Amino acid sequence: MLCNSIEYEANIELKGSDLIEDSLVHVMKHRQTLLESEVRYYLRQLLEGLRYIHAAGIIHRDLKLGNMFLSDSMDVKIGDFGLAAKYETETAKVTICGTPNYIAPEVLAKRGHGYEADIWAVGCTMYAMLIGQPPFETVSLSETYARIASNKYAIPNHISSRAKSLMKKMLAPEPRQRPTIDQILNHDFFASGYIPLSLPPSCCHRQPKFVLAPSTR
């Protein structure tokens, strides 16, 4: 689930393979929005890859649709570690970095940031897949930053309550209020929703049709 190669002083090296050029940005250009089942499929792989990165002591700091690449078998590969940094518990990172629509409020405020900033970006990514654009996007960069700072965004009524709940948790303004990766994967959005084992390449261009087995209850 990782692509590109990056080395740190601690001899941490992340590598990946089977990368193709298309990212989820290309998928979204064709599809506009995705089904919740597709979002679960992509997000679960993103989160599992992110767990590996965090376990290695690394903050990605630029998670977004454009850095989620797809393999030939439609597996998610996390790419572009150009802004990644080694996390030091004693001194949280204070550099403003990342893509404007996905930047966490603590990054903007230079309060120092850690793994929670990546969780915020996952929340923005989930929102973009379901709704078609990041939650704080505007035509003005200053207005986008103002909305991030004030946590001003809206979730359309057609989005399920489970999806709304998870996005709100990941987009909590205070980093400590955001869920861990395990808590996200155990959230009702994943626990009670259908997650396909695979997706056909055709879903890059059109909505897939899922045939679910009838309930035995």
Q: How far apart are CA 69 and CA 84, in angstroms?
A: 17
User: What single-letter DSSP state applies at residue 180?
Assistant: P
85-86 and 13-14 as β-strands: parallel, antiparallel, unpaired? unpaired
Tokens of 210: 């899922």
Residue 57: which region, alpha, beta or left (left: phi > 0; alpha: psi -120 to 50)? left
Residues 39, 45, 47, 53, CA torsion sign? negative
Collapse the DSSP code of 45 into the 3-class scheme (helix H, G, I; strand E, B; otherwise coil) and give the result.
helix
- Taking alpha carbons only, the member of 195, 143, 134, 133 closest to residue 170 is 134
| Catalytic residue, candidates 18, 22, 62, 118 | 62
Q: How many CB atoms lie within 10 A of CB 17?
A: 8
Tokens of 78: 């996390």
- For residue 62, indicate whether it is catalytic: yes
For residue 153, which amino acid is it?
Y
Question: What residues are labeled active site?
Answer: 62
